[in-house]
């Protein structure tokens, strides 16, 4: 397996400390705090360690405090309910003796039912697009070093944006974003692993959609963004080592908070998962920004 992908899979695997208590490590991906998708994926892994014969269909989480990338995270799982068809788990992530995150997740025995879905957006196919890491060098010449590293670093997922990556322009645009995603290598046939990895990637670029109508560019500084909560629903089977379209939109921003919604489609147009996130979005006045 590709080393970057193998490292991510390993990151989402947890050490069992006690019957329902687990420990996970962190990775520094260039931010000052633990990436929210990492905590989502690890928390779902922890819940899965207490589940048999059922698959997650939804999760609802709150980010309480920034995670420390230099310290491990302990996950405490509460077995809230095991019914004939559904199971519910509550997971608390703890660092330095304090909760940084909590999540409720529901699991269901697979069964048939009614079927309908929203149509996949009419966008170019992934084979007609370029990976984010292939940004042409001339476009990178005037980009801040931090952004250059973000764009060009190797990832465990291929990321092919549909809309052009806006490097320097501050022109407002519609609060809509489409990105094709796929793991860089083949993965085992384990549905729970694919769900854990999709939870990890569901935090990628989602809340940033809120800034698009306002012409805000992070190279200016003075922008504070943080995930407040995250919800996810798994509708149909999927694989993250096959192309998935992540369709994102932001219907509202107010009171220093922004709401972003996302849908994942496979290449056959099947809606396989949906997500929603509210985030803190503060724009500091220029005279109050850090030098």
Average pLDDT over residues 138-147: 63
In a domain, 248, yes or no: yes
In a domain, 278, yes or no: yes
pLDDT above 60: residue 272? yes
- pLDDT per residue as tens digits for the range 88-113: 999 999 999 999 999 999 999 999 99
Mean pLDDT of the chain: 91
Strand partners, 182: 158
- pLDDT per residue as tens digits for the range 223-241: 888 999 999 999 999 999 9
Of residues 134 and 178, more confidently modeled: 178
Query: Is 42 an active-site residue?
Result: no
CB atoms within 10 A of CB 117: 14
In a domain, 120, yes or no: no
pLDDT above 70: residue 142? no
In a domain, 139, yes or no: yes
CA dihedral 36, 41, 43, 47 (to 10 degrees): 160
CA angle 151, 152, 155 (to 5 degrees): 90
Is the pTM here over 0.85, yes or no? yes
How far is 25 from 71, CA to CA, in rounded Å?
7
Number of domains in the chain: 1
Q: Out of 42, 195, 247, 277, which one is annotated catalytic?
A: 277
In a domain, 117, yes or no: no
In a domain, 94, yes or no: yes
How far is 274 from 249, CA to CA, in rounded Å?
12
Q: Out of 195, 227, 263, 274, which one is annotated catalytic?
A: 227
pLDDT score, position 221: 66
Of residues 29 and 135, more confidently modeled: 29
pLDDT score, position 289: 46
Average pLDDT over residues 44-69: 97
Domain range holding 275?
A: 3-110+128-288
Q: Rounded to 5, what percent of the chain is helix, strand, coil?
A: 25, 35, 40
Average pLDDT over residues 272-283: 96
In a domain, 229, yes or no: yes
Please report how many Cα atoms fall inside a 13 Å half-sphere around the Cα of residue 17, on the Cβ side: 11
**What CATH number does residue 31 fall under?**
2.40.160.210
Percent of the chain whose pLDDT exceeds 90: 78
In a domain, 53, yes or no: yes
Query: Is 224 an active-site residue?
Result: no
If pLDDT is split at 50, 70 and 90, which confidence band does 168 have? Answer: low
The helix (H) or strand (E) run that includes residue 39 is: helix 36-48
Query: Is 117 an active-site residue?
Result: no
pLDDT above 90: residue 270? yes
pLDDT above 60: residue 291? no
Q: Out of 38, 106, 202, 203, which one is annotated catalytic?
A: 203
């Amino acid at each position: 397996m590709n080393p970057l992908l193998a490292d991510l899979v390993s990151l989402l695997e947890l050490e069992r400390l006690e019957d329902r208590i687990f420990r996970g490590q962190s990775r520094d991906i260039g931010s000052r705090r633990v990436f929210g998708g990492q905590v989502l994926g690890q928390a779902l892994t922890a819940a899965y360690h207490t589940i048999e014969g059922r698959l997650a269909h939804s999760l609802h989480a709150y980010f309480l405090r920034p995670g420390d990338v230099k310290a491990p995270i302990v996950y405490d799982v509460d077995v809230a309910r095991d019914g004939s068809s559904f199971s519910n788990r509550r997971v608390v992530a703890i660092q330095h003796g304090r909760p940084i995150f909590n999540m409720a997740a529901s699991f269901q025995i697979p069964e048939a039912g009614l079927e309908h879905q929203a149509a996949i957006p009419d966008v170019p196919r992934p084979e007609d697009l370029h990976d984010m890491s292939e940004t042409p060098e001339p476009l990178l010449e005037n980009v801040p070093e931090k952004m250059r590293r973000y764009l060009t670093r190797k990832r465990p997922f291929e990321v092919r944006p549909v809309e052009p990556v806006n490097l320097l322009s501050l022109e407002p645009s519609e609060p809509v974003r489409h990105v094709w995603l796929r793991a860089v290598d083949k993965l085992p046939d384990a549905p729970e692993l694919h769900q854990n990895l999709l939870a990890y990637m569901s935090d990628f670029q989602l809340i940033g959609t809120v800034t698009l109508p306002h012409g805000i560019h992070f190279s200016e500084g003075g922008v504070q963004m943080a995930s407040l909560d995250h919800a996810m629903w798994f509708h149909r089977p999927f694989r993250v080592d096959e192309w998935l379209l992540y369709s994102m939109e932001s219907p509202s921003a107010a009171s220093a908070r922004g709401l972003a919604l996302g849908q994942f489609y496979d290449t056959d147009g099947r809606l396989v998962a949906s997500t929603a996130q509210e985030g803190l979005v503060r724009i500091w006045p220029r005279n109050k920004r850090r030098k």
